[in-house]
């Protein structure tokens, strides 16, 4: 379905022109052979709540996702706070200011607890706060230490909605909030709480863009937009939201979160280590190390094979984040998603230490270090391929990943280098 529309909003707050928080400029989106958006423009300023409404399949979620920098564009540009964050040339820049995002698929990591996930949202905003009042308002305070995987669908939706609202709740400056079907799966009491929060955040100057096909949130809107026409409304008046929380430092967040994901699930051991140990077992079953002790290249290949295999399995954290599209939530928020960089290096060192004992009955810290680098470099390359194929059709994604065997050549060169040590 083709959608053509242009919407320019100008709002006066007091005696000055309100700042523009979001601009979609001439955006065209294609899904397969279908054009979903064609030359679509929209502008959202502070203190405004625009609700995109209409039937399913109209393109409402597409607008939310392109505003969050998640979809490739044929034409157009996306700007946050008047700065380009994504364009049709494929350039993506980190937003200058954090923004709230609730995806239709929640974007949660099942192995995290509610508390851990919301603390992560706060850390991205470089803030910290007492989450108890917010959790109590949605009836989740008693479940805060439960894993998201153990929650009902409605409770998971509440966590996702709170995640989208928190950046606005923590920010004194006007903040962009993007919500895709936030009322879906919520009970009536939670919807009333959500409406109150939306009105308070709008009154505080935050800009809110909501996609929904339900009329229950229309009372919060300053404008209704069906992607063709726009109609203004007078929303309910209320007291503005009072900022909560305080400033907190959150350096190396992606690396820290990758470490936490691995530590809480042991997913690297379950996936990468298991494959490596199977390779060692297979080699031992086929070949007696002492019988080929004079074949240095072969022995060294056996020593470095576990680290190489571990990397070929791919980044375990990246694979885990693909559940519930958590990887898209992270891609929208930060430039570098959580990864297994530290784990891949350490795992490569540990597995090489094990294999060098098995095949050489000795220890050489240089080879161990090289094994760590092999694990790290191979995992990095596989993660790059994983991320580069996220939005491709399945056949194209499979074709690109068939390039993986190319990595055997540099691995073989490393094996030959190790013989000279």
pLDDT of residue 266: 82
pLDDT average, residue stretch 159-180? 93
pLDDT of residue 210: 95
Q: Is the pLDDT of residue 289 over 50?
A: yes
Choose between 2 and 343: higher pLDDT.
Answer: 343
- Residues β-bridged to residue 217: none
Distance in angstroms (rounded) separating the CA atoms of residues 159 and 156 = 5
Both tokens assigned to 148: 């998201």
Q: Is the pLDDT of residue 314 over 90?
A: no
pLDDT average, residue stretch 308-318? 90
C-alpha distances out from residue 157 to 107, 153, 194, 266, 269, Å:
10, 6, 12, 26, 30
Superfamily of domain 4-247: P-loop containing nucleotide triphosphate hydrolases (3.40.50.300)
- Summarised one tens digit per residue, pLDDT across range 227-256 is 887 778 877 778 888 878 788 777 778 888
pLDDT of residue 15: 41
DSSP class of 235: P
- Summarised one tens digit per residue, pLDDT across range 192-232 is 999 999 999 999 999 999 999 888 899 899 999 888 877 78
pLDDT of residue 168: 92
Choose between 402 and 362: higher pLDDT.
Answer: 362
Length of the chain measured in residues: 421
pLDDT of residue 293: 67
pLDDT of residue 345: 95
The full set of domain ranges for the chain reads 4-247, 253-419
End-to-end Cα spacing for the chain: 63
Q: Is the pLDDT of residue 417 over 70?
A: yes
- Summarised one tens digit per residue, pLDDT across range 15-66 is 446 789 999 998 998 877 778 888 899 999 999 999 999 888 788 999 999 9
Please count the other Cβ atoms lying within 10 Å of the Cβ belonging to residue 300.
Answer: 21
Distance in angstroms (rounded) separating the CA atoms of residues 407 and 373 = 14
The model's pTM is 0.86
pLDDT of residue 200: 93
């Amino acid at each position: 379905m083709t959608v053509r529309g242009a919407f320019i909003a100008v709002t006066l707050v007091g005696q000055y022109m309100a700042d523009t928080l979001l601009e979609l400029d001439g955006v065209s989106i294609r899904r397969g052979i279908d054009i979903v958006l064609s030359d679509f423009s929209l502008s959202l300023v502070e203190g405004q709540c625009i609700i995109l409404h209409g039937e399913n399949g109209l393109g409402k979620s597409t607008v939310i996702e392109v505003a969050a920098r998640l979809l490739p564009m044929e034409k157009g540009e996306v700007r946050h706070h008047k700065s380009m964050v994504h364009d049709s040339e494929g350039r993506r820049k980190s937003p200058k200011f954090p923004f709230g995002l609730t995806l239709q698929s929640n974007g949660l990591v099942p192995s995290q607890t509610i508390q851990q996930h919301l603390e992560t949202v706060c850390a991205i905003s470089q803030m910290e706060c007492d989450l108890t009042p917010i959790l109590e308002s949605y009836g989740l305070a008693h479940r805060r230490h439960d894993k998201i995987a153990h929650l009902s669908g409605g409770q998971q939706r509440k966590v996702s909605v709170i995640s989208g609202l928190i950046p606005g709740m923590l920010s004194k400056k006007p903040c962009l909030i993007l919500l895709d079907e936030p009322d879906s799966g919520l009970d009536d009491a939670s919807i009333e709480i959500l409406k109150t929060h939306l009105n308070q955040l709008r009154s505080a100057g935050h800009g809110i863009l909501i996609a929904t096909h339900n009329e229950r949130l229309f009372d919060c809107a300053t404008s209704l937009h069906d992607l063709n026409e726009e109609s203004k409304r007078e929303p309910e008046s209320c007291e503005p939201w009072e900022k909560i929380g305080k400033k907190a430092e959150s350096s190396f967040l992606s690396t820290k979160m990758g470490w936490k994901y691995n530590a809480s699930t042991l997913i690297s051991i379950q996936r990468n280590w298991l494959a490596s140990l199977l390779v060692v077992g297979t080699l031992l079953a086929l070949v007696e190390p002492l019988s080929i002790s004079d074949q240095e290249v072969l022995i060294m290949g056996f020593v470095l094979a576990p680290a190489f295999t571990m990397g070929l399995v791919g980044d375990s954290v990246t694979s885990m984040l693909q559940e519930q599209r958590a990887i898209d939530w992270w891609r929208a928020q930060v430039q570098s998603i959580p990864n297994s960089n530290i784990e891949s290096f350490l795992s490569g060192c540990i597995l090489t230490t094990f294999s060098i004992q098995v095949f050489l009955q000795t220890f050489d810290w240089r080879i161990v270090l090289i094994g760590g680098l092999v694990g790290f470099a191979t995992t990095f390359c596989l993660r790059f391929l994983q991320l580069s194929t996220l939005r491709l059709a399945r056949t194209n994604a499979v074709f690109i990943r068939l390039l993986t065997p190319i990595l055997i050549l540099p691995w073989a060169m490393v094996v030959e280098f190790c013989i000279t040590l």
